[in-house]
Structure 1
Amino acid sequence: MAVRLLGYEVLDLCLGKPPLRSLSAGSTVSDALTVLKTSGDNFISVWSCDHRSNKRNLECVCVGKVCMVDIVCYLCKEDNLCSPGLALKSPVSVLLSKDQGSVKHVEPSSSLLDTIDLILQGAQNLVVPIESNATTYSSKRKQLQKLSPLPICATSHNGQEFCWLTQEDVIRFLLSSIGLFSPIPTLSIDSLGIITHEFLAVNYHSPASSAMGAISQSLLEQTSVAVLDDDGILIGELSPFTLTSCDETVAAAITTLSAGELMSYIDCGGPPEEVLRVVQARLKERKLEAMLEEIMTDSDSVNFFSSSSSDEELHSPTTTLSRLCRYSRSSSYSARRSSSYSARMVRRAEAIVCHPGSSLVAVMIQAIAHRVNYVWVIEDDCSVVGIVTFANMLKIFRQNFDSTI
């Protein structure tokens, strides 16, 4: 019976989770950008605390999280396009979600049921205290300080380390005991009524900049933006999960390209040369040609280039776009097209899809394999029916717990 799982606590789901790498709330957007690049993490937690204090009882609170998409969306705002360097000097607080409930502190003894309830109430990340390792903390802090002299909180707060749990962690845990929920996992997502028919979308030929509001919203909702043709056929997606692995200079592409062109820009392996030339030409038309150089100067992106590059080559807009995007994708996007491009290693602008008749367990496995929180639901003609999210799935499991208690 699924009720057996109610005996598990949050700490049971934290086994093997690494301690959070974090940034002080007093940091700037530029600081967050540098930490994201040097740490290799997709998300960085932001904390309100003062480690210069000698008070051991000082409370440290995680006030939110930031990723590359937050920075890109901020740089794409009209007021920041002409002065991205100034925008990067803004406090990191401008990137934080106004929804304070997206990050919640929970006790290690909290139940699995409490965890699911918090997620269904809107929490995206649950911050959980874990056993500290003073030696590991000291070593990691020294390594971070060598990388960049930033106001970094490293992994420890007053000697306490934390990790965080996500929707994916809970779904993975439930999947490991999926047999306890029989026959629900074998039922179709259509019969379970968990397909959301309202979803974010943009036309293939629309300016990518017109999708910025939808991209920001999809980041908050942990979904994605469908890219449709004129007949409503799904062509691909603009996913925050993919954009988190791009460089901040993708802001220039969003400013100048269509949604369809942006899909090619962020696709596996770096943008095609012809797309780079389009970006360069359109930046010049809009008198934003200096945008990339200013971003480079203020975010220290130049440090990631080969020292053998000439100054003229380094500051060429086309070279800048090409090199930065390839840098950001060289490690996590090195794999090429394959018949089963599972896992985040090869996430692309292509959408992960299923059909209304797909079983719940099949969709769970599909989403986990591709490291996304959702799967698009389409008909045989590729028209979009809707989207299934981890939150939708958790509602079904929550209802099952209610019926067995």
Structure 2
Amino acid sequence: MAVRLLSHELSDLCLGKPALRSLSITSTVAEALEVLKTSDDNSVSVWNCDHKAAGFCDEDDCRCVGKVCMVDVICYLCKDDNLVSPSLALKEPVSVLLPKIPGLVLHVEPSCSLLEAIDLILGGAQNLVVPIKTKLSHKRKQHHKTAPAVTIHKGREFCWLTQEDIIRFLLSSIGLFSPLPALSIDSLGIISSETLTIEYHSPASAAIGAVYQSLLDQTSVAVVDSEGTLIGEISPFTLACCDETVAAAIETLSSGDLMAYIDCGGPPEDLVRVVSTRLKERKLNGMLEHLTMSMSCGGFSSSSSSSDEESTGAPMSPLPRSLRHSRSMSYSARMVRRAEAIVCHPKSSLVAVMIQAISHRVNYVWVMEDDCSLAGIVTFSDMLKVFREHLEAIA
């Protein structure tokens, strides 16, 4: 029965998936940023053919070459030269944001089997680009000016599938894999001790390399105290709900303060002042100007009154990107995440951890011992390996 489940075609998983928004590889970082701030999704696909001018393309070599998200922009702006002049950095082509790792995004046909898709993901693919046909495709092809940001190729639109989509699909028929789902993650041997961590009082800037690596690994960076106790996390999934000015906070705050800055509800007013002051001290006037402009254009937190602003002379806190911009809660849209880490116990069952990760829209769960020390991490990739091995055993 389980083997038959994995013979399903990917078209079954694509039902109800929204069509990809796309950017040409010739677009600028600023254009990618604008799409990210107004899109329902937290990432945008990048293509090697120009849909910007026409809205559709019939060329055989039109391919998705990658995806970018707000975390890519934040990490990019954290580079020394870009902190000095973010306005110039945003004029660079979006290709500067794409990782130099082949195979992260792969094109597959709708007839591709779920088993084949799992093998591709275990081989390193993050997103599988699948053509879909919608009722709007033909209309968009004829009236392409109404939807220039949607990728249409030979009358087909595209969606992409992720680890989360596959885990959700497996969970919908989890009983077919019995007794595997009831086993503990400890007994299954899927707790990885190879985690990315940073100490609570360390400068957040020291974590930027780990943050970027966690984005590639689809994990997170654990924030721990001097004894290794898990306090929280700096997660790409949380950063993706922020805006690019978080780069200023990463450069000026400690890891612990950064968690408070990116927590949902908007950064505390006192931390905003700290960031502004330290940018001045370091003569990062370009980033300070960008931060100030973003705050004035993006709106302010309702948690502070206008009288408070007048009495202190300090700017009020900006709302996070996910609250400043109108964002639908579509299937692909991520909920606003807190900086609190999602944790489980080594004796937690596989199915419990799957449900926990899916409910929080993350690809991983931290594993904590009884004394609150960090035991490791469990990822969707680890889970998929277990299902794959189970199928091989019963085949």
Normalised by the size of structure 2, how large is the TM-score?
0.89
TM-fit CA distance, 1:245: 0.7
1:217-274 residue CA offsets vs partner (Å, 9 max, x unmatched): 0000000000000110000000000000101111110110000000000012011111
Partners of 1:293 and 1:317 within 8 A in 2: no
5+ residue gaps, structure 2, are 301-305, 328-332
The one-letter code of the counterpart of 2:36 is L
Equivalent pairs, count: 378
| Structure 1 residue corresponding to 2:204, chosen from 191, 208, 221 | 208
Instruction: Give yes or no for the alignment of 1:168 onto 2:164.
Output: yes
* 1:303-382 alignment runs, 5 A limit: 304-305=298-299, 319=315, 322-323=317-318, 325-330=319-324, 344-382=334-372
| Structure 1 residue corresponding to 2:107, chosen from 105, 108, 118 | 105
What is the distance in 1 between the residues matched to 2:292 and 2:95?
22
The secondary structure found in structure 1 opposite 2:159 is strand
| Structure 2 residue corresponding to 1:119, chosen from 89, 104, 121 | 121
* 1:202-281 alignment runs, 5 A limit: 202-281=198-277
Instruction: Give yes or no for the alignment of 1:396 onto 2:386.
Output: yes
Structure 1 consecutive aligned stretches of length 4 or more whose deviation exceeds 6 Å? none
Aligned partner of 2:9 in structure 1 is 9
1:197-224 residue CA offsets vs partner (Å, 9 max, x unmatched): 1100000000000000000000000000
The secondary structure found in structure 1 opposite 2:120 is helix
Partners of 1:105 and 1:126 within 8 A in 2: yes
Identity of aligned residues (%): 66
What is the distance in 1 between the residues matched to 2:143 and 2:231?
43
Greater CA deviation, 286-295 or 170-179?
286-295
1:124-176 residue CA offsets vs partner (Å, 9 max, x unmatched): 000001114235636996456xxxxxxx5423234320000000000000001
Greater CA deviation, 165-174 or 77-86?
77-86
> Structure 1 residues 268, 127: CA separation in 2 closer, same or farther (over 3 Å shift)?
same
The secondary structure found in structure 1 opposite 2:362 is coil
> Structure 1 residues 55, 161: CA separation in 2 closer, same or farther (over 3 Å shift)?
closer
Partners of 1:203 and 1:259 within 8 A in 2: yes
TM-fit CA distance, 1:296: 6.9
The one-letter code of the counterpart of 1:403 is A
Partners of 2:43 and 2:69 within 8 A in 1: yes
Instruction: Give yes or no for the alignment of 1:42 onto 2:42.
Output: yes
> Structure 1 residues 90, 295: CA separation in 2 closer, same or farther (over 3 Å shift)?
farther
Normalised by the size of structure 1, how large is the TM-score?
0.87
Greater CA deviation, 251-260 or 345-354?
345-354
Aligned partner of 1:340 in structure 2 is none
What is the distance in 2 between the residues matched to 1:140 and 1:363?
46
> Structure 1 residues 211, 218: CA separation in 2 closer, same or farther (over 3 Å shift)?
same
Instruction: Give yes or no for the alignment of 1:29 onto 2:29.
Output: yes
Partners of 1:276 and 1:318 within 8 A in 2: no
The one-letter code of the counterpart of 1:397 is F
What is the distance in 1 between the residues matched to 2:28 and 2:155?
24
The one-letter code of the counterpart of 1:383 is S
Partners of 2:196 and 2:210 within 8 A in 1: yes
Aligned partner of 1:18 in structure 2 is 18
TM-fit CA distance, 1:305: 4.3
Greater CA deviation, 53-62 or 256-265?
53-62
The secondary structure found in structure 1 opposite 2:103 is helix
Greater CA deviation, 134-143 or 219-228?
134-143
What is the distance in 2 between the residues matched to 1:13 and 1:319?
46
> Structure 1 residues 46, 359: CA separation in 2 closer, same or farther (over 3 Å shift)?
same
What is the distance in 1 between the residues matched to 2:299 and 2:272?
18
Greater CA deviation, 54-63 or 35-44?
54-63
The secondary structure found in structure 2 opposite 1:63 is strand
* 1:20-169 alignment runs, 5 A limit: 20-51=20-51, 56-132=58-134, 133-134=136-137, 137=140, 142=145, 153-169=149-165
What is the distance in 1 between the residues matched to 2:57 and 2:320?
45
1:329-378 residue CA offsets vs partner (Å, 9 max, x unmatched): 35799xxxxxxxxx953420000000000000000000000000000000
The one-letter code of the counterpart of 2:206 is S
Partners of 2:264 and 2:320 within 8 A in 1: no
The secondary structure found in structure 1 opposite 2:19 is coil
The one-letter code of the counterpart of 2:92 is S
> Structure 1 residues 39, 318: CA separation in 2 closer, same or farther (over 3 Å shift)?
farther
TM-fit CA distance, 1:59: 2.6
1:100-141 residue CA offsets vs partner (Å, 9 max, x unmatched): 211000011111110000000000000001114235636996
The one-letter code of the counterpart of 1:160 is R
> Structure 1 residues 301, 267: CA separation in 2 closer, same or farther (over 3 Å shift)?
closer
